[in-house]
Structure 1
Amino acid sequence: MPPASRVTPAPGQESVWDYPRPPRVEASGEEVVVVLGDEVVSRTRSALRVLETSHPPAFYLPYASFLDGSLVPVGGTTFCEFKGSASYFDVVAGGRRAARAGWTYRQPSPGFEALVDHVALMPGAMDECTVGGEVVVPQAGGFYGGWITSRVVGPFKGGPGTTGW
């Protein structure tokens, strides 16, 4: 059930309450740049956005766009009811290590095959993430990997009191 405080989008904005469930994957032609340890870890115009009701978009960047050696596989998996089993990476650059801050779906569930060879990142674990030149605000809560820009409105799942959304 959506919260009573749903924000009405202005022209040029999207409401996360208009995103589907199950999520949709769509291409983004905007430039996405990720910085860690004062190094550009990834720069691409070939990102994918995963759009799910109540969540800001999660950006999945092509594996090939990452700085060599910046993605270090680590143990453990999690399971998403829609996308399947996720494997994790530490992200390493410029003398910094962001533990388990990246994940991928090597064999995603049907309907999410586009995510193969793409990596999502927790924007709050990076020094900076930008979309189209705008600095991203990380989704609250530390569990979800949504990227908030001025083009999306909520309220967003992840903060206190949002568990039942």
Structure 2
Amino acid sequence: MTKSADIPSGGHPAPDPAGPGQESVWDYPRPPVVQPSDELVEVWFGGQLVARTGTPLRLLETSHPPTYYLPRSCFADGVLRPVSGSTVCEWKGRTDYFDVVARGQVAERAAWHYPRPVAGYESLVGHVAVMPGSMDGCVVDGERVRPQAGGFYGGWITDRVVGPFKGGPGSRFW
């Protein structure tokens, strides 16, 4: 765990060193970018596979592990239940939410999408992200994802990315 004494005056801890084949989240841009991917992504909930795609989008933002956006069409029928209420992202615009429902289990507001994102994020239309910590499991190219800490952000941590990652205690102002 990073202690405040370990944080330089720039406001965030020093980036962890990236090894071969790894990315540092501190090399990601701000504002974030959307990047197509050919990774195989699976989402499991209620003891079943609820989504699977080989064409996800990765949203990359400084200090955050990637958030994966999957084509809405890859979700099993009835899994995404729209709910009322929305929030606004300073970069992407208004976010609408879904409950994820499978085999009698419900993960409330555990998925979201941008029906009309702001300019520059149009590729997110028709794609849905899920909170990996609310699912039974999320898998990228055979590796089980670890959720971004804090329960607010939807980043997917794999061995491919190094931090430290925003979301945990003491990272609010990174």
Same fold (TM over 0.5): yes
SS in 2 for 1:35: strand
CA distance in 1, matches of 2:171, 2:15: 13
- Residue 96 of structure 1 and its aligned partner are, at CA, apart by 1.0
Q: Distance in 2 between matches of 1:3 and 1:143?
A: 19
Q: Secondary structure at the match of 1:85?
A: strand
Q: Does 1:73 align with 2:109?
A: no
Assess, with a 3 A threshold, how the Cα gap between structure 1 residues 6 and 17 changes in structure 2: closer, same or farther: same
Q: 1:140 — aligned with what?
A: 149
Match of 1:97 in 2: 106
Q: Does 1:158 align with 2:148?
A: no
Question: 1: CA distance between counterparts of 2:97 and 2:77?
Answer: 17
Instruction: Name the SS of the counterpart of 2:84 in structure 1.
Output: strand
Which runs of structure 1 show a deviation greater than 3 angstroms over 4 or more consecutive aligned residues?
A: none
The Cα offsets for residues 35-90 of structure 1, whole Å up to 9 and x where unpaired, read as: 00111110000100000000000000000000000000001101001100000000
State the match for 1:53 in structure 2: 62
CA contact (8 A) 1:2 1:17 kept: no
Q: TM-score, normalised by structure 2?
A: 0.93
Aligned Cα root-mean-square deviation (Å):
0.8
Deviation at 1:94, TM superposition (A): 2.0
Q: Give the C-alpha shift of residue 2 in structure 1.
A: 5.4
How much has 1:6 moved relative to structure 2? Answer: 1.4
TM superposition shift of 1:4: 3.1
Which structure 1 segments of 5+ residues have no match?
A: none
Assess if the C-alpha contact under 8 Å between 2:34 and 2:60 holds in 1.
yes
Number of positions where the alignment pairs a residue of Structure 1 with one of Structure 2:
165
Whole-angstrom CA distance in 2 between matches of 1:46 and 1:149 = 18
Q: Which amino acid aligns with 1:93?
A: A
**Correspondence for 1:4 among 1, 13, 16:** 13
Structure number, greater radius of gyration: 2
Cα distance in structure 1, aligned partners of 2:49 and 2:21: 28
Match of 1:62 among 63, 71, 78: 71
TM-score (norm 1): 0.98
| Aligned counterpart, 1:84 | 93
Contact 1:41 1:66 in 2 (8 A): yes
